[in-house]
């Protein structure tokens, strides 16, 4: 079992669940064993510089949240490896995706865009799903402008081929 799976299993156990996440799952475990309440555990080794970790595919998140009744939660875990083994330094507790403020997120180029954490976690418990989607729309507009500039540079670079 790799370190990420170990963390997911430990966090799931704290919530009375079993971590069964696969690469195709939207979450690492289900809250209250309900299929529409997945929890995604994001871990960070505090001994390393983890620049802009991937949170989730933007397209996948949109498709999931547009389905009536679907929810998504995150738990952000800081850990370190000691001589005794894995030590969880802290975890954020359950955070509904709509409460993650876009001030700490960005959309970057991978496929249809991947949401990355570019700054320390910022939670806004008053932000609803509509507010979250407005922030996502703004982030996507920034992403699309950057991608359009990149495409123009590529066109210029290969114009004489």
- Domain ranges within the chain, ordered by starting residue: 3-158
Helix 129-158 crosses helix 58-65 at what angle (to 10 degrees)?
A: 150
What pLDDT was estimated at residue 140?
Answer: 96
Mean local confidence (pLDDT), 66-93: 94
What pLDDT was estimated at residue 148?
Answer: 95
Q: What is the pLDDT of residues 92-129, one digit of tens each?
A: 999 999 999 999 999 998 888 999 999 999 999 999 99
Token pair for 131 = 């507010």
Which positions ≥6 away from 49 have C-beta within 8 Å? none
Mean local confidence (pLDDT), 69-90: 94
Locus of tokens 């992403």: 143
- Could you tell me if 136 and 110 are in contact, meaning their C-beta atoms sit under 8 angstroms apart? no
- Could you tell me if 27 and 34 are in contact, meaning their C-beta atoms sit under 8 angstroms apart? no
13 falls in which pLDDT band (50, 70, 90)? Answer: very high
For 7, counting Cβ atoms within 10 Å of its Cβ (0-12 exposed, 13-18 middle, 19+ buried), the class is buried
145 falls in which pLDDT band (50, 70, 90)? Answer: very high
Three-state secondary structure call for residue 104: helix
What pLDDT was estimated at residue 111?
Answer: 85
What pLDDT was estimated at residue 79?
Answer: 94
Residue 22 pLDDT > 70:
no
What pLDDT was estimated at residue 1?
Answer: 64
According to CATH, what is the number of the domain 3-158? 3.40.600.10
Most confident by average pLDDT, 9-18, 26-35, 105-114, 123-132? 123-132
What pLDDT was estimated at residue 23?
Answer: 62
- Could you tell me if 101 and 136 are in contact, meaning their C-beta atoms sit under 8 angstroms apart? no
Strands 38-45, 73-82: parallel, antiparallel or unpaired by DSSP?
Answer: parallel
Identify the H or E element spanning 93.
none
**Average pLDDT, rounded, for the chain:** 92
25-29, 129-133, 135-139: least confidently modelled range: 25-29
Closest CA to 99 of 67, 63, 74: 74
Mean local confidence (pLDDT), 59-78: 95
Token pair for 31 = 């809250």
């Amino acid at each position: 079992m790799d370190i990420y799976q170990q963390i997911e299993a430990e966090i799931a156990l704290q919530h009375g669940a079993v971590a069964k996440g696969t690469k195709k799952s939207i979450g690492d475990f289900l809250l209250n064993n309900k299929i529409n309440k997945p929890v995604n555990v994001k871990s960070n080794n505090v001994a390393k510089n983890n620049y802009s970790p991937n949170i989730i595919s933007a397209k996948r998140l949109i498709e999931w949240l547009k389905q009536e009744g679907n929810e998504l939660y995150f738990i952000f875990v800081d850990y370190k490896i000691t001589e005794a083994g894995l030590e969880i330094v802290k975890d954020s507790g359950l955070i509904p995706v709509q409460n993650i403020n876009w001030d700490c997120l960005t959309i970057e180029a991978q496929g249809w865009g991947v949401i990355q954490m570019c700054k320390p976690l910022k939670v806004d418990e008053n932000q609803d799903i509509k507010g979250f989607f407005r922030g996502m729309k703004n982030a996507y507009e920034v992403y699309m402008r950057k991608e359009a500039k990149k495409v123009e540079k590529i066109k210029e670079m290969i114009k004489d081929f």
